[in-house]
Amino acid sequence: MAKDIGIENTAGAIKHQAVALRVSGDMAIFHNCQFDGYQDTLYVHAYRQFYRDCTITGTIDFIFGDASSVFQNCNMIVRKPMANQACMVTAQGRKDRRGVGAIVMQNCEIRAENEFISAQPAINAYLGRPWKEFSRTIIMQSLIDGFIDPQGWSVWAGDFALNTLFYAEYENRGIGANSNNRVNWRGYKKNIGQEVAAGFAPGVFILADEWVGLSGVPYESGLNTL
């Protein structure tokens, strides 16, 4: 478990891929940590991972990998990229239909830094794109600010993975959460419903009650309720 620490890759946007942290251990917990970078900031490589009250900053694919990862009450901050680049918050890398990996965001905030917002011409930004064929990302009960493109999600290359990925949203809020103009892909689910969403809450998806609950780190096992 890591708590109250910051990790930064100082290479800057010009150095392209520059990972700040790669996490490959099972039952990894990060509480009140900050990860700063540009492209590929946080590599959620494998196994079960839980992030609570953390901040992750970056530009392109800055949360990527195929761990069973849950981000709860976290801030994702999009930074200004190099010229002619678009920003992608996630690039999930599930290779197998039966794989257990996913990036799950619950009660998070997806925002942009002021330098990104004020840039001219405006910069495109998306919730994610499919790094691998069965890419799986779920954003639920989170705030999505208005800088996110109305389509929500972007392609990797042509029509790669658009029929096999699983991208879903549930009970999000904010201007960027408006799903009226979202992508029309077979693999995209505009609103997965409570029963499906509950399966991606920490208590079910990563069995958090068995290990996060023993750590002393605050967490919600299930969905938020009004």
Nearest Cα to Cα of residue 65 among 119, 6, 25: 25
CA dist 88 → 3, 37, 64, 188, 205 (Å): 26, 13, 10, 16, 24
Separation between Cα atoms, residue 47 and residue 45, nearest integer Å: 7
Of residues 36, 40, 61, 66, which has the active-site annotation?
61
Tell me how crowded residue 180 is: count the other CB atoms within 10 A of its CB: 6
Helix (H, G, I), strand (E, B), or coil: what is residue 181?
A: coil
Phi (first) and psi of residue 201, to 5 degrees: -70, 155
Q: Structure tokens of 215?
A: 């750590």
Reply yes or no on whether 96 is catalytic.
no
Cα-Cα-Cα-Cα dihedral of 52, 156, 122, 39, to 10°?
50
Structure tokens at 66: 């195929």
| Partners of 224 in the β-ladder | none
The secondary structure of residue 122, as a DSSP letter, is: P
Residues noted as catalytic: 61
